[in-house]
Amino acid sequence: MNKKVIGILVCLVLAAGLYFATSKTEKQESSSAEYKDTIVFAANTDILTHDPQVQNDTTSEQVVRMIYNTLLKFEDDGKVVGDLAESWEVSEDGLTWTIKLKSGVKFHNGKEVTAADAKATYERALNAKDGGFRTTEIIKIFKNIEAPEKYTLKITTSVPYGPMEALLCNLSLAVMDSEVLTKHGLELGNHVEAENGTGPYKLTAWTKGDEVTLERFDDYFGGKAPTAKITVRAIPEAASRVIALENGEVDVIGGISANDLTTLEANKSIKVLKRPTISQRLFRFGCNDPIISNTKVRQAIVHAIDRQAIIDSMFAGTVYPSTAPLAPVTWGYTNLGEIKPDIEKAKALLKEAGYPNGFSTKIVTCERYAKGVQMAEVLAAQLAKAGIKAKIEVWEWSALSASWSGVKKEDFNQPIFVMGAGPSMRDADGGLRGLYTTTENGVNDSNYGFYSNKKVDELINAGMSETNKEKRAKLYAEAEKILYLDDPAAFWLFDMYGMCAMSDKVENVTLSPINKKKKKKAVIKK
């Protein structure tokens, strides 16, 4: 008999997009079927925190997205709609945003959500001294935050702020219970009992280093979720995740490598789904280096690289070539085309730069990034064809990440270095501002490569304060062209897919990428 219709909500990587599925315990020829009320998802890491303002890893983000809501949210086609907010408007001068919250929305403990909770949430991020808070820098634009009425929030910015809607969609600004914030402080994300979100699921159990359990919140304002319980289990080894899926120990797995993909796609009892994300892999230029600071040298390196060869040999099926400093799913992305390798052009540019016989440099890489060492080795071989001799240094992640924050220009010694990137919000400003605008006081707070271009600074700053979206898009398009082609800040290798694999017992799946395709309603297969 048909016991229950069950679905799953799984958020993958850093892009908005959901998987909806039904999972059957056994296949039956009749129209009736028995369904599981628990879905087990295997992630490559354990959840580190459920604090929205601190989460900075994929697994934690996946869990936080199921627990909390933001004031606004992106739909699949990139349109911004209300989440906790009923409506919003901005003043004529572009400085004051008035947001009306939906009434009757409940936290998991039954308390109603009010504007005071949103105010407390934003003030916590704005005033945080802890470096783990991702939002502190991006909301410095907030000059004043008020809750004049129970369901009314007013935010005044220091200047007109074009990316405001995207910012209010940012998971790091998910609304939290003001009372919980006061009670638990910085420890909020470390304990199950401190969780009190508004999302379709509530955190009910957490065995650190192992798994978390999420149970359906029946009073969710967005409608009752179809799956009663979701378990997110940490299985760090890729091969072990695949085996667990094949053996039926888990229903869905993430963290799929190119090698895994080949194995999984060959198994007829397993389905693989993927969609674009905001994440990119690139190698930054250390523009404080006397040779790399030369624009012609950087252009030469950009044209010496064969991106497709790297993708085909190491990441086939899991990534695709970059065509801009932003991934296509980010608002403000401009398709500048894939840069094809051209060794003769690279040599000509080196000659123009004053290095007809090439030069020696180094590439800094890290094993934390998938195939980080192998990528550096291939890059070194490709650069050698243009006369550039690159020595490879493999750094520990702790040392590499430490070198990217608070380091003075004169102390930075990484002419070319590996990096992963994705915007702090799904807007061009979030992907460009911190990374590529000129650093102040000679310290690389976010601009890790000390890149500086006056025109880029002007364009990005103008884009931030422009509230007309068409005008904003043109400003960022010009900035992207300079960063990508004219005065390269990096060479972007590829953009990444978010992927999951599932047993054939998981049925009626809809993958919702960020595009204009409509989601198909999950139904029971008869």
Residues near 506 by beta carbon (within 8 Å), at least 6 away in sequence = 8, 21, 22, 23, 24, 39, 251, 252, 271
Please determine, for residue 336, whether its predicted confidence score (pLDDT) is greater than 80. yes
- What tens digit of pLDDT does each residue of 140-183 get? 889 999 999 999 999 999 999 999 999 999 998 999 999 999 99
Dihedral sign (CA 103, 145, 158, 329): negative
Lowest mean pLDDT segment, chosen from 221-225, 259-263, 488-492, 506-510: 506-510
Distance CA 5, CA 227 (A): 8
Residues of the chain with CATH 3.40.190.10: 8-269+504-511
Q: Which of 235, 188, 252, 234 has the alpha carbon at shortest distance from 23?
A: 252
Question: Considering the entire predicted model, what is its pTM?
Answer: 0.82
Q: Across 84-93, 404-413, 438-447, which has the greatest mean pLDDT?
A: 84-93
Cβ(214)–Cβ(66) under 8 Å? yes
Assign domain 278-496 to a CATH class. alpha beta
- What tens digit of pLDDT does each residue of 78-127 get? 789 999 999 999 999 999 999 999 999 999 999 999 999 999 999 998 88
Lowest mean pLDDT segment, chosen from 109-123, 294-308, 411-425: 411-425
Q: Which of 169, 91, 124, 416 has the alpha carbon at shortest distance from 286?
A: 416
Q: What percent of the chain is modeled with pLDDT above 90?
A: 64
Please determine, for residue 31, whether its predicted confidence score (pLDDT) is greater than 60. no
pLDDT for the residue 202? 96
pLDDT-based confidence at residue 2 (cuts at 50, 70, 90): very low
pLDDT for the residue 362? 98
Mean pLDDT across the chain, nearest whole number?
86
73 DSSP 8-state letter: E
CATH no. of 8-269+504-511: 3.40.190.10
Cβ(54)–Cβ(121) under 8 Å? no
Cβ(121)–Cβ(178) under 8 Å? yes
Residue with tokens 């103008």: 462
Residues near 175 by beta carbon (within 8 Å), at least 6 away in sequence = 68, 69, 70, 71, 84, 113, 117, 118, 121, 198
Please determine, for residue 62, whether its predicted confidence score (pLDDT) is greater than 90. no
Distance CA 294, CA 287 (A): 8
Distance CA 98, CA 51 (A): 26
pLDDT-based confidence at residue 4 (cuts at 50, 70, 90): very low
Please determine, for residue 375, whether its predicted confidence score (pLDDT) is greater than 80. yes
Residue with tokens 């915007």: 423
The three-state secondary structure class of 229 is strand
Residues near 517 by beta carbon (within 8 Å), at least 6 away in sequence = 76
DSSP element (H, E) containing 477: helix 469-481
Q: Which of 258, 247, 253 has the alpha carbon at shortest distance from 271?
A: 253
Greater confidence (495 vs 422) lies with: 495
Cβ(480)–Cβ(176) under 8 Å? no
Question: DSSP characters for 378-440?
Answer: HHHHHHHTTTEEEEEEEE-HHHHHHTTSS-BGGG---SEEEEEE--SSSBHHHHHHHHHSPPS
Distance CA 474, CA 465 (A): 13
Beta bridge partners of 366: 395
Q: Which of 379, 360, 234 has the alpha carbon at shortest distance from 290?
A: 360
Cα–Cα–Cα angle for 436, 426, 107, rounded to 5 degrees: 130
Give the number of residues written for the chain. Answer: 526
- What tens digit of pLDDT does each residue of 186-236 get? 888 988 999 999 999 999 999 998 999 999 999 999 998 878 899 999 999
Question: DSSP characters for 39-54?
Answer: EEEEESS------TTT
The three-state secondary structure class of 130 is coil
Greater confidence (500 vs 86) lies with: 86
Cβ(511)–Cβ(252) under 8 Å? no
Backbone dihedral angles phi then psi of residue 232, each to the nearest 5 degrees? -105, 115
- Classify residue 99 as left (phi > 0), alpha (psi -120 to 50) or beta: beta
Please determine, for residue 514, whether its predicted confidence score (pLDDT) is greater than 80. no
Beta bridge partners of 231: 40, 213
Residues of the chain with CATH 3.10.105.10: 278-496
What type of residue is 325? P
The three-state secondary structure class of 122 is helix
Residue with tokens 């760090």: 236
Cβ(245)–Cβ(501) under 8 Å? yes
Range list of H helices, 27-153? 58-67, 115-127
Backbone dihedral angles phi then psi of residue 143, each to the nearest 5 degrees? -95, -35
Q: What percent of the chain is modeled with pLDDT above 70?
A: 87
Q: Which of 289, 313, 319, 316 has the alpha carbon at shortest distance from 301?
A: 289
Greater confidence (1 vs 387) lies with: 387
